[in-house]
Amino acid sequence: MANSTKIRVKRIGIKSIVLSCFFVVFYFQVFSQSSKPILLITYYSQSGNTEQMAEAIAEGAQSIEGLDVKLLPIDQVQQDDLLAASAIILGSPVYNANIAPSVQEFINSWPFEGRPLKDKIGAVFSTGGGMSIGEELVMLNLMHSMLIHGMILVGGDTVESAFGASAITGEGPFDLKGELDPIFLKKGEALGKRVAETVLRFR
Ligand SMILES: Cc1cc2nc3c(=O)[nH]c(=O)nc-3n(C[C@H](O)[C@H](O)[C@H](O)COP(=O)(O)O)c2cc1C
């Protein structure tokens, strides 16, 4: 083979390696980004307490790379948001030791035919005014509904948040106007982080 032909073959070889590398990098930058799993955090909050907990959960979830975290009040959630999510973390304030009625209505609107929410990761949180007058019942009720839809439930990372993240907002040392006590916000952050890690592990 003439020397010039050898050089041309070499050049074509190098060119195709460089081009292939470019396409591999391009593919991972563009396509793998858009296929990140979505973690949806949704809540009802009339006076802002449950919203604060939702924000702490979002912060914890965002500390883990590789997911898109969506934080939406329930009245802004479309059916497509539920269907696209790999995990749903749902929160309600305690109303008369029950889920707030609008959260129950929201759950009742979830698609059931064909059980499209089956095998999504689920977790819950709640805020209540007083100790032992409903916040645990609310979390368990939210979990029951998720189980009806076939979701896979995850609790918090400590025994004190075994059912999810909850906060007392109106009794004793926790009767503070404004910010939720950090002890509760930490439970929220840890729940968000744990759910995010679980989603990635399941993938
Ligand atoms: C109609 C109503 C009923 C409530 N019932 C309870 C209750 O049974 N137990 C409780 O711990 N807190 C109860 N609360 C207090 C709320 O759960 C608490 O203030 C909660 O943090 C409010 O959340 P939000 O600020 O996100 O709306 C009730 C509040 C309202 C408005």
Check residue 1 and give its pLDDT: 46
Burial class (CB in 10 A: 0-12, 13-18, 19+), 200: middle
Task: Tell me what ipTM this predicted complex has.
Answer: 0.99
Beta bridge partners of 68: 38
3-class state of residue 45 by DSSP:
coil
Residue ranges of the chain with per-residue pLDDT less than 50 = 1
Any ligand 1 atom below 6 A from CB of 127: yes
Quote the DSSP letter at residue 73: E
> Quick one: pLDDT at residue 5?
55
Ligand 1 close to Cβ of residue 72 (< 6 A): no
135 burial (CB, 10 Å; 0-12 / 13-18 / 19+) is buried
Mind listing the pLDDT tens digit for each residue in 29-82? 555 555 899 999 999 999 999 999 999 999 999 999 999 999 999 999 999 999
178 lines ligand 1 (CB under 6 A): no
Question: What's the 93 CA to ligand 1 centre distance in angstroms?
Answer: 6
Of 81, 184, 61, 64, the residue nearest 123 (C-alpha) = 61
Which atom of ligand 1 is found nearest the CA of 94? Answer: 17
What pLDDT is attached to residue 175?
83
- Site to probe by mutation for ligand 1, drawn from 90, 92, 95, 102 as the one with most ligand atoms within 8 Å of Cβ, is 95
Pocket lining: 180 vs ligand 1, CB cutoff 6 Å: no
Does the CB atom of residue 103 touch ligand 1 within 6 A? Answer: no
CB-based contacts of 141-149 (< 8 A; 24+ apart in sequence): 141/98, 141/99, 142/90, 142/91, 142/92, 142/99, 142/103, 142/107, 145/107, 146/88, 146/90, 146/117, 146/122, 149/110, 149/112, 149/115, 149/117, 149/118, 149/120, 149/122
Indicate whether residue 45 lines ligand 1 (CB < 6 A). yes
